[in-house]
């Protein structure tokens, strides 16, 4: 199936729509970086907003504070989320896992706390 040729006006409208979509996604990522919006908020908005639904998961995760390409990639691999997945393509379990992973609080990648000493040991004098 071939794509029908577009008139100059149609091409201009498409270009304008694409620019607005990129700006909208950039605004959301800026809000994530600034902390004025949470990942849970973005995922909820993506259910209603077609423009936001087309954002790539990796790009949204990288916009979070203290999350770079490496951590975002590792989390996505651990949660079985494809590298090219978009927000609309996430399942409910993947969405819930992402929200739990990046809920406000201490970083998941922080060193684990050691187990408490057993009662009667030398450390509990």
pTM of the model: 0.74
- Residue 79's pLDDT is what? 93
Cβ atoms 20, 52 nearer than 8 A: no
Residues in a beta bridge with 56: 86
All structural domains of the chain: 24-101 (1.10.8.50)
pLDDT of residue 105: 47
Across the 125 residues of the chain, what is the mean pLDDT of every consecutive 10-residue run? Answer: 84 93 94 92 92 94 93 93 93 93 58 53 51
Whole-Å CA distances, 56 to 7, 27, 43, 88: 30, 14, 12, 9
Write down the pLDDT at residue 26.
94
């Amino acid at each position: 199936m071939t794509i029908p040729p577009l008139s100059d006006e149609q091409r201009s409208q498409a270009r304008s729509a694409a620019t607005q979509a990129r700006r909208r996604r950039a605004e959301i990522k800026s809000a994530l970086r600034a902390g004025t919006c949470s990942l849970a908020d973005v995922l909820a908005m993506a259910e209603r907003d077609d423009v936001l639904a087309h954002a790539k998961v990796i790009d949204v995760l990288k916009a979070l504070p203290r999350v770079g390409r490496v951590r975002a990639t590792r989390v996505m691999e651990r949660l079985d989320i494809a590298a090219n997945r978009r927000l609309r393509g996430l399942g409910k379990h993947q969405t819930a896992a992402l929200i739990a992973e990046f809920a406000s609080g201490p970083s998941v990648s922080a060193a684990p706390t050691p187990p408490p000493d057993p009662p009667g040991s030398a450390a509990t004098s």
